[in-house]
A and B are shown apart, each in its own frame.
Chain A
Amino acid sequence: KAGVTQTPRYLIKTRGQQVTLSCSPISGHRSVSWYQQTPGQGLQFLFEYFSETQRNKGNFPGRFSGRQFSNSRSEMNVSTLELGDSALYLCASRNPGHSTDTQYFGPGTRLTVL
């Protein structure tokens, strides 16, 4: 089975711009979660989508949003970028209710905001 894929792998933007990141889960996985990793804060949960509905949301401003499509692929959008948004954005997929309900991560998108 192919793993979780994320595109693009690297992105450079300037302050005030917006960005969209994409995540394709493992085939058959219906839940996609997004995390932000920064050196100071570690991995922090952004949101989780299941069956095209946001199921959980972390403590991030409304500039961070996401969606999930009927094929379980997910996108994350950050509007009005700030320097502090520079981070590694990780996507993870799982299959809720499965006996081995574990989140599997993609390689991440490294976002740099100048």
Chain B
Amino acid sequence: DQQVKQNSPSLSVQEGRISILNCDYTNSMFDYFLWYKKYPAEGPTFLISISSIKDKNEDGRFTVFLNKSAKHLSLHIVPSQPGDSAVYFCAASAGSGNTPLVFGKGTRLSVIA
């Protein structure tokens, strides 16, 4: 049973517009959420995280929103740039990061110039 789901395998966005990547989870024990970006043949790169005590966290062009009641989080990238083209993974853990990360299967973002 997939505890973390990224239902869109791919997303195409024009340069300069907003990219919104979505993630749903089923385990109510999850209290720490992260987004990673991955290029081919490289390891995932940490982007941004959010604790369940918050509903929003912002870092430059990246903002993560958490809706605990809906068990949903989203990553907003504004403005999108061609270098943002990569696979984005949503991950979750319980115990404030002290349990293994559970990953979604990723969304491939293509930013078109």
Q: Which chain A residues have a beta carbon within 8 Å of chain B's beta carbons?
A: 4, 6, 33, 35, 41-45, 48, 56, 58, 90, 92, 94, 96, 101-108, 110
Contacts and interface: CB of A to CB of B under 8 A. Distances in A.
B97 A102 contact: yes
Interface residues of B, number: 22
Contacts of A94: 97
B90 to A, nearest CB: 11
B41 interface: yes
Contacts of B49: 102
29 contacts: A33-B100, A35-B101, A41-B105, A42-B89, A42-B104, A42-B105, A43-B101, A43-B103, A45-B100, A45-B101, A45-B102, A48-B100, A56-B99, A56-B100, A90-B44, A101-B96, A101-B98, A102-B46, A102-B49, A102-B97, A103-B97, A103-B101, A104-B46, A105-B36, A105-B43, A106-B43, A107-B43, A108-B41, A108-B43
Interface of B: 34, 36, 41-46, 49, 89, 91, 96-106
A103 B46 contact: yes
Nearest to A58: B100
B-side binding surface: helix, strand, loop or mixed?
Answer: loop
Contacts of B98: 96, 101
Contacts of A42: 89, 103-106
A80 B34 CA distance: 34
A43 B44 contact: yes
Contact of A108 (B42, B46, B89, B103): B42
Contact of B41 (A4, A56, A102, A110): A110
Nearest to A107: B43
Contacts of A56: 99-100
A105 B97 contact: no
A71 to B, nearest CB: 21
Given A41-B105, A43-B89, 4 more contacts: A42-B106, A58-B100, A107-B42, A108-B42
